[in-house]
Chain A
Amino acid sequence: MESIIEPVAALFGPAWPLVWSLLKIIGIIAPLFLCVAYLTLAERKVIGYMQVRIGPNRVGPRGLLQPIADGVKLLLKEIIVPSGSNKGLFILGPVLALGPALAAWAVVPFSDGWVVGNVDAGLLFLLAVTSIEVYGVIIAAWASNSKYAFLGGMRAAAQMVSYEIAMGFALVCVLMISSSLNLSEIVAGQGRGQWAEWGFGFLSWNWLPLFPMFIVYLISGIAETNRAPFDVVEGESEIVAGHMVEYSGMAFALFFLGEYANMILISALTSILFLGGWLSPVGFLPDSFLWLVAKTSFILFLFLWFRATFPRFRYDHIMRLGWKVFIPLTLFWVVVVAVWVMSPFSIWK
C-alpha cells in the first residue's frame, strides 16, 4: 500500500494531504450513495414481502435496477420553484438536509483505524452535526410559502428538538462507561471485560448493561430520522408530504437521500455505540468490518420492519413519549449509571 501511495503523494507535493482527504471522502460518500439507492429498493421489497406482495420486479433482473431508474427519472425532471417562494432558501433547504447527514460520516470508524477524522471529541461532533439536520426541513418548509409545508416544518422542529435530548442523555451514559468521546475507543472499550475474555464478546457490549438506553436510542433514532411510526412530519394523510410538498426532481431527491443517509448513519451509530461496532460476537471469529455491516443491516431491517408493522403515532402521543417518558427515564438512568460506575460493583474498571 505504502509503495503505491508514495509516488502519487510526491506528484501532488504539498497539496497531498488535501487530495488524500478528498479521496477518503469520496471513498465513503460513493458507497454510501449506492447503499442509499439499494436501501430504497430493500425497503420496497421487504415491505412488499411483509404485505404478501412481490414489490418492484420489472426493471432489470428481479427489479435490481429499480433504484437506478428512479435516480435517472428524478435527475431528468424539472425543478419547479414556486412563484411566491424565497428562491435562495428554497434551494438551500435540501442542501442543508443532505449536508449534515454526510458530514457526520467523517468521524464514524468502520474498523480499527478506518476513519477519516479520528478526532478526540467524535461523539460531541456527531451530536452537533445531527442537531443541525433540522435546519434543512425548517428552511425548506418556510421557503416553500405553503401551509402544508409550514405545518410539516413546525412539526419537524418540535419533534427533532425533543428527541435529541433523550438521545443526548443516552449518549452521556455511553461516554460515562467508556470514559472517552472517541468512537474508536468506545468500540475498543466494549471488547474488554470478563465476558469478552470467556469468548462471549456480545455479552460485554454496551447493549446489555445499558439496555434501557439502547432501546431509547433506537426509538429516538427512528423519531429523529422522521421514519414511520414517527413520520408525522411527512404525514401524507393530513399534510400531504410536509416540507417536501413543493419540491420536485432532484431537489426532492436530495431530501430523500438525506433521509436514507440519516437512517444508515443512525443504524451505524447504534451498532458502534451499543453493539460493539466491528467486534466479533464470539471469541473464535476474527473482528472485521463485515460485522459492522451485518449489525448496521440488522438495525436498518428493524427500521423497515417497524414501518410495515406500526400505524402512525398521533402527534400528541409522540410529544408525550419524548418528554414525559424518555427524558425522565434517561435522566434517571444517567444517575444510576453514574453511581454504578463509581461504586465497587463497576464492571468498567
Chain B
Amino acid sequence: MDFQTAVFYFFSTVLVLSALRVITARNPVHAALFLVLTFFTAGGIWMLLRAEFLAIALVMVYVGAVMVLFLFVVMMLDINLDRIREGFWSYLPVGAVIGLLMVIEMAIVLGGKYFGLEGMPAPADPGEGYSNTKELGRLLYTEYVYPFELASIVLLVAMIAAIALTLRKRTNVKVVDPAAQVAVKRDDRVRIVSMRAEKD
C-alpha cells in the first residue's frame, strides 16, 4: 500500500465515521459540526484526485458559509430531544423503504457499466504545470457556457425569490438613514443665541 492509498483510507474512514455521527449524534449542534468534518474530509479526498479547485470550493462554500449559517440557526433552536425521538418506531418503515430505494439507486449507478472502474478509470498523471482551476474555467466558459449561465440564472431567481419572500415594508419603525446621520451639521441641531449679559 503506497502513501496515497493510506491517505485515501484514512480520509474515507474519517468521512464514513463522521457521516454516521451526523445521523446518530443526539445533540443537533454536534451533528452539524460532524457534518462540517464530513465536508472537510470530502474536500481532502477530492484533493487526492487532483481536483484542487473543487476541493477548496467545497470547503469555502459549504464549510465556510453554508454550515456557519446552518449552525447559526441550529444553535438558536431549542430542540426537545425526547419529542423528536417519540415517533421513531412509527416512522421507521417509511424511512427504511426510502433508504433501501436510495441504496438500490446508488448500486445501479455505481455498479453499472458506465460508472465502473473500467468505464471511468483514474485520470492519467497530467504532469507538471497543469492547473485544474484554469482547465475547469476554460471548460465552463467555452464548452458548457449555456448550461453554466442557465444554472446561474436559476440561482439568481431563487435568490431574488428568497429576498422577496422575507422583504416586508414595516411601517412605524424608527429607522434612521445613516447618510442623513453623518451629514448632520451643528446648525441643524443647535441654535446659538447671542444674549446680552444680565447685570443686576
Residues of A within 8 A of B (CB): 89, 119-121, 124-125, 127-128, 131-132, 134-135, 138-139, 142, 150, 153-154, 157-158, 160-161, 164, 181, 317, 320
Contact = CB atoms under 8 A, between A and B. Distances in A.
Contacts of A154: 72, 76
Interface string B53-81: 10011011001110011011001100000
Chain B contact surface mostly: helix
B65 A164 contact: yes
A157 B72 contact: yes
Interface of B: 29, 33, 36, 43, 52-53, 56-57, 59-60, 63-65, 68-69, 71-72, 75-76, 131-133, 178
A131 B64 contact: yes
B60 A124 contact: yes
Given A120-B52, A317-B178, A320-B178, A132 B59 contact: yes
A161 B70 CA distance: 12
15 contacts: A120-B52, A121-B56, A121-B131, A127-B56, A127-B60, A128-B43, A132-B59, A134-B68, A135-B68, A138-B68, A139-B33, A142-B29, A142-B71, A142-B75, A154-B72
A131 B59 contact: yes
Chain A contact surface mostly: helix
A320 B176 CA distance: 12
Given A131-B59, A164-B64, A164-B65, A138 B53 contact: no
A121 B53 contact: yes
A120 B131 contact: yes
Contact of B69 (A121, A128, A142, A157): A157
A161 B65 contact: yes
B178 A131 contact: no
A135 B65 CA distance: 10
Contact of A157 (B43, B68, B131, B133): B68
**Considering the complex of A and B, which 9 residue pairs feature the smallest CB-CB distances, nearest first?**
A131-B64, A128-B59, A124-B56, A128-B56, A128-B60, A121-B52, A142-B75, A157-B72, A157-B68
A82 to B, nearest CB: 16
A131 B69 contact: no
A158 B69 CA distance: 8
B75 A132 contact: no
Contacts of A120: 52, 131-133
Contacts of B76: 154
Nearest to A88: B30
Given A124-B52, A131-B63, 6 more contacts: A121-B56, A121-B131, A135-B68, A153-B75, A157-B72, A160-B68
